[in-house]
Amino acid sequence: MTEDTIFTKILNKEIPCDEIYSDGLCLAFKDIQPQAPIHILIIPRKKIISLKNAQIEDKELLGHLLLISAKIAQQEGLQDWRTIINTGEKAGQTVFHLHIHVIGGRELAWPPG
Ligand code: 5GP
């Protein structure tokens, strides 16, 4: 069995988070090290290691996560924002439980580093 990630511990309420939204499928909370004035993470309750590990049966869940991320971004007052899923170590993934970043509240450069 793989070891629990920090996000499993957050889902299990073993460690606290600054919660923004919760439902039966996902949890959203503020990133502990925000890269912009608004930086929120949306994670599925189901443990999916990364986007490359998602299966066809996860398609409704993935759609839900994206729609919820957009709803949260707007509830936080954002009109423009960036939705990011770092996938794999070389792409900057550090926590191996699928998560969507919603980042906004400042001008965002492109291309990202
Ligand atoms: P990744 O680099 O894997 O795409 O993103 C992981 C994110 O999780 C990082 O932005 C990091 O700041 C955030 N993070 C790591 N540990 C914690 C934590 O314990 N609490 C919260 N709220 N965010 C965390």
Is 41 within a domain?
yes
pTM: 0.97
How far apart, in whole angstroms, are the C-alpha atoms of residue 11 and residue 102?
Answer: 19
For residue 76, being part of any structural domain is answered with yes
The amino acid at residue 48 is I
Q: Is residue 69 part of a domain?
A: yes
Question: Which atom in ligand 1 lies closest to the alpha carbon of residue 92?
Answer: 2
The finding on whether 67 has its CB within 6 A of some atom of ligand 1 is no
Q: With respect to residue 51, please indicate whether it lies within any of the assigned structural domains.
A: yes
Residues involved in catalysis = 99
Instruction: Note whether residue 38 is domain-resident.
Output: yes
- Domain annotation covers residue 109: no
Residue range of the domain that includes 94: 6-104
Domain annotation covers residue 113? no
DSSP-assigned states of every residue in the chain: -PPPPHHHHHHTTSS---EEEE-SSEEEEE-SS-SSSEEEEEEESS---SGGG--GGGHHHHHHHHHHHHHHHHHTT-SSEEEE---SGGGT--SSS--EEEEESS---SS--
Residue nearest to atom 15 of ligand 1 (CA): 32
pLDDT in tens, 79-89: 999 999 999 99
Q: What CATH number did the domain enclosing 42 receive?
A: 3.30.428.10
Contacts of 49 (CB under 8 A, 6+ apart): 2, 96, 97, 98
pLDDT for 20-55, tens place per residue?
999 999 999 999 999 999 999 999 999 999 999 999
| Pocket of ligand 1 contains residue 7 by CB under 6 Å | no
Count the domains in the chain.
Answer: 1
The reply to whether ligand 1 has any atom less than 6 angstroms from the CB of 29 is: yes
